[in-house]
Amino acid sequence: MTDAADLTARLIRCPSVTPEEGGALTLIQSLLEPAGFACTRVDRNGTPNLFARWGAKGARTFGFNGHTDVVPPGDPDNWTHPPFSGAVIDGTIWGRGATDMKSGVAAFVAAAIDFVTRTPPDGAVILTVTGDEEGPSRDGTPALLDWMDANGERMDVCIVGEPSNPEVMGEMIKIGRRGSLTVHVTAIGKQGHAAYPHKALNPLHPLLMLLADLTAAPLDEGTEHFQPSGLQVTTIDVGNPASNVIPERGRATVNIRFNDLHSGDSLTAMLRERAAAVEERTGVRFELDFHVSGESFLTAPGPFVDLVRDVVAEACGRVPVLSTSGGTSDARYVKNHCPVLEFGLVGAFMHQVDERVPQAQVRQLQDIYHTILARYFA
């Protein structure tokens, strides 16, 4: 059998800080090809990506998605073991990416190799691995999906191997995610002396009015599968060093994590409407710069979700919660291609100094993925 724990340590030793490949995808390809996977590098704009398929094109296909890029480790002197050592101490693997998510990639690579080698299915298995999830994420999974569409490749369902469990294995499966919208607000008035406000137009008071209006009441109360949408003011910037000068401009940033009652377009329209109302009352002009990094989505409970939930419950001794909590992941791109959910390891140490994962947990995830594949193709 392929040992996912050993592969995790080997991947950690590849210094693949976004957007560097660091040898991680090369290592994975060297393992997949002897097992019969047809591998293609789908690099775009310097971003490394790997597509691998076992089985005939057009057959019933199960897919996995993940990333081998990692966030910077910070000061190596703060780590108990060097961040790219892949040290294994008393059953624990140490290093950047141990949790997020070289272990998840190692688990589905190892499971897929063993499954197609020992019990070749009547179907196909596709693995998509990107080197750009922790960064801008424009040329990672989106590039892989664009290439698949252009080349007639298709997954029927997909698991993203991100760490999905807050504290213990089998605690949670992510069946969707909230959307994320960021708006940069600039309020533009007229500079002047603070002692003569009638000769100026202070942009800060209308800016505060707008922010107060946006935060005065919740956007909604949540839905069946989603918690209430959240709106947070994340920064207010003026840069005015003088106490007796009314500034010309003030800036603020607002981030909204929204459920399936909203869309990027509907929230953009709402924000423009609220800003226009304050403009009309005060005479201050607003400039709004929007960025939607992902729409909300849901993979509704059904045969695919039930299969994964049943396997996880049997393996872990607990029925996982079906959740849409947390931030964004590459599932926000995969959902436009096929039904997708997220299940992986416990995420307690991700992005932290001394990131680490128990070997036993990685092997358990490998077994879970292998069982999911076996039941899907049964």
Reading the chain (378 residues) residue by residue, the pLDDT tens digits are 899 999 999 999 999 999 999 999 999 999 999 999 999 999 999 999 999 999 999 899 999 999 999 999 999 999 999 999 999 999 999 999 999 999 999 999 999 999 999 999 999 999 999 999 999 899 999 999 999 999 999 999 999 999 999 999 999 999 999 999 999 999 999 999 999 999 999 999 999 999 999 999 999 999 999 999 999 999 999 999 999 999 999 999 999 999 999 999 999 999 999 999 999 999 999 999 999 999 999 999 999 999 999 999 999 999 999 999 988 899 999 999 999 999 999 999 999 999 999 999 999 999 999 999 999 999
36 φψ region: left (φ > 0), alpha (ψ -120 to 50), beta (else): left
The pTM score is 0.91
- List, in sequence order, the alpha helices (H) in 17-158: 24-32, 102-118, 141-150
Give the closest residue to 174 by CA, choosing from 159, 164, 184, 183: 164
If you ran DSSP here, which 8-state letter would residue 56 be given?
-
* CB distance 173 to 312 below 8 Å: yes
pLDDT at 71: 96
Question: What CA–CA distance (Å, rounded) separates 144 from 65?
Answer: 10
Task: List Cβ neighbours of 32 (8 Å cut-off, separation of 6 or more).
Answer: 39, 52, 109, 112, 113, 127
Task: List Cβ neighbours of 90 (8 Å cut-off, separation of 6 or more).
Answer: none
pLDDT at 328: 86
CATH of domain 4-177+296-376: 3.40.630.10
* CB distance 203 to 250 below 8 Å: yes
Task: List Cβ neighbours of 3 (8 Å cut-off, separation of 6 or more).
Answer: 110, 363
pLDDT at 1: 83
Domain boundaries, the chain: 4-177+296-376, 179-294
Side-chain half-sphere exposure of 83, counting CA atoms within 13 A: 23
Give the closest residue to 206 by CA, choosing from 271, 290, 285: 285
- Catalytic residue (one of 69, 114, 139, 295): 69
- Catalytic residue (one of 114, 133, 134, 153): 133
Give the closest residue to 322 by CA, choosing from 179, 180, 220, 170: 170
Task: List Cβ neighbours of 353 (8 Å cut-off, separation of 6 or more).
Answer: 73, 74, 78, 79
pLDDT at 327: 83
Question: What CA–CA distance (Å, rounded) separates 338 from 30?
Answer: 28
For strands 124-130 and 61-67, give the pairing: parallel
Q: Is 133 a catalytic residue?
A: yes
Q: Is 69 a catalytic residue?
A: yes
Architecture of domain 179-294: 2-Layer Sandwich (3.30)
